[in-house]
Amino acid sequence: MLQTLSNKINSWFFETNRAERIWLMAKIEFKLKFYENKLGLAWAIIKPVSQIIMYYVVFQILMNQRVPNYVIYLFAGLMLWMFFTEVTSGTVKILKTKKYLYEYTNMAKLEIYLASIISSVIGFILNFIIFIIGAAISGIYPTYHYFYFIFIFINLFILSFGVSLILSNLFLLFKDIEPIWGIVVGFGFFLSPILYRGDLFSAKLPILDYLNPIAGIINNARNILMFEQPPNWDMLLYDTGYAIILFLIGIYILNKYSDRASEYL
């Protein structure tokens, strides 16, 4: 079965020019995000840094949470959350905004999603490099535990991809899904352990660790990146299973409605 799956993936990506085309589109989309701004690529850095300063002043200085290395603690949570929201919010209307690609070319819709998400991965890598530099300045150096972060990011990638597929196809049926998702994201931000200590958050609202897959991802990421600990494997397996189920639902909905996307739009 694994061999069959491997052959299909290899065939889909590499026996055609799909991989090259997706990568080219991802690079173009990433550049377009900053093309019209005078500060250009600098905004990829300015945005997370400005948010960190704002939250640091409010939650560490004014509310005195007494979290050691709070800036790095905050950065670890924010960069994961920003990737998730950028991917999911940015693809809600992708079947409408990129309609010309699947109507007038031979591109598969899945390629369009992948290109958009990979452009966000480029931004995430930039943020991750800044995180490593900032952590080193604070006295937190990379260890072999960073290897585990690959599993965390794969988990986040699948989750973001699955939610994107679901939201963008629901948009075909319910145009209100975009503002509704904006409200959900707003609640999700404060119901995730981004600004607060993960252990206190889990103690007060333990059920959210299971209802909100981002919570487990953030807690595991901090264990790896800041505390030289392996991930909580049970939580990682749970979150990955959660993400795979959402991804499969997204693929099902895409297959169900993709052929008639133009009619709905």
- Please return the burial class of 138, using the count of CB atoms within 10 Å of its CB with bins 0-12, 13-18 and 19+: middle
Q: What is the mean pLDDT of residues 201-226?
A: 87
Asked whether the predicted pLDDT for residue 59 surpasses 80, the reply is: no
Q: Return mean pLDDT, the chain.
A: 85
pLDDT of residue 149: 96
In 10 A of CB 100, how many CB atoms? 9
Confidence class of residue 5 from pLDDT cuts 50, 70 and 90? low
- Report d(CA 164, CA 169) in Å as an integer: 8
Q: What pLDDT shows up at residue 173?
A: 86
CA distance 102 to 60: 48
Where does the pLDDT of residue 40 fall: very low under 50, low under 70, confident under 90, or very high at 90 and above? low
- On the question of pLDDT at 2 being above 60, the answer is no
CA distance 237 to 79: 21
Q: Tell me, what's the pLDDT at 38? A: 65
Q: Tell whether the model's pLDDT for residue 74 goes beyond 80.
A: yes
Burial 156-189 (b: 16+ CB within 10 A, else e): bbbbbbbbbbbbbbbbbeeeebeeebeeeeeebe
Average pLDDT over residues 162-172: 93
Tens digit of each residue's pLDDT (9 = 90 or more) over 117-147: 999 999 899 889 989 998 898 889 999 999 9
* pLDDT confidence of residue 210: 86
Residues 6+ apart with CB under 8 A from 191: 205, 208, 212, 215
How much is the pLDDT for 101?
80
Residue 10 has a pLDDT of: 66
Which range, 19-33, 44-58, 95-109, 138-152, is most confident?
138-152
Q: Determine the angle formed by the axes of helices 149-173 and 109-137, rounding to 10 degrees.
A: 140
What would the two tokens of residue 223 be? 């264990």
What number is the average pLDDT over the span 10-24? 75
pLDDT at 18: 81
Q: What pTM did the predictor assign?
A: 0.87
Considering all CA atoms of the chain, what is the largest pairwise distance in Å, rounded to the nearest integer? 57
With 0-12 / 13-18 / 19 or more C-beta atoms within 10 angstroms meaning exposed / middle / buried, residue 97 is: middle
**17, two tokens:** 């020019």
Structure confidence at residue 31 (pLDDT): 81
Could you tell me the two tokens for 146? Answer: 């960073």
Q: Between these two residues, 33 and 243, which has the higher pLDDT value?
A: 243
Would the pLDDT of 1 be above 60? no
Task: Tell me the two tokens of residue 24.
Answer: 């080219």
- Helix boundaries (H) for 15-148: 18-35, 43-55, 70-90, 94-97, 99-104, 109-137
